[in-house]
Amino acid sequence: MLFRSKPSIEKLFPHAGDSAYTNLRHEIVTVVEDTSPGQHDMQYAACDPTRYAELGVEGYHESCQENLHKALEGFGIKIDFTPQPWNLFTNFFINPDGTITIKAPETKPGDYIVVRADMDAYIIVSACPQDQNPTCGGKPTDIRVEVGD
């Protein structure tokens, strides 16, 4: 029997009450409320220049990976890797055979997620610029982020 002193995410898509953790099992943020269909992927890597090149894009294309590193550099932080993102409002469908199908999001304007910071952390948010597959429904849009006390 497995005993835990803290809650744990043991599913593919987090819901209210679930937390994201550090590698030492400390809560970083906890989902407090979610009015969306709850499709928040934690499996798929951030879009990056290599993916765009593989998709046939020639020249520069913005990416979540670059947005993350630019934001961190604004805080004087440089890292040599890209952490696994929490892809909010995405519809990366897990098929029965274990493959992933990228589908357009099922979110609607006004859907939102509220997370509570459980520790001091840099939370970097990127409005995904992916326009080469259905990740953003073929049309990336802006997002609104509010930070409260």
Report how far apart the first and last C-alpha atoms of the chain are (Å, whole number): 39
How much is the pLDDT for 132?
94
Q: How confident is residue 4, by pLDDT bands cut at 50, 70 and 90?
A: very low
pLDDT, one tens digit per residue, over 17-59 is: 988 888 888 999 999 999 999 998 888 899 999 999 999 999 9
Whether the per-residue pLDDT at 68 is higher than 90: the answer is: yes
Query: Distance (Å, rounded) from C-alpha 15 to C-alpha 2?
Result: 22
Q: What is the Cα 77 distance to its own chain's centre?
A: 20
Domains of the chain, by residue range, sit at: 37-108+124-136
Containing 30, the helix (H) or strand (E) segment is: strand 27-34
What pTM was estimated for this model as a whole?
A: 0.84
Residues 22-28: contacts with CB within 8 Å, 24+ apart? 22/119, 26/118, 26/119, 27/118, 27/119, 28/117, 28/118, 28/119, 28/121
How much is the pLDDT for 13?
81
How many Cβ atoms sit within 10 Å of the Cβ of residue 69? 18
pLDDT, one tens digit per residue, over 122-134 is: 999 999 999 999 9
Which residue in 66, 80, 84, 82 sits closest to 126, CA to CA? 66
Average pLDDT, rounded, for the chain: 89
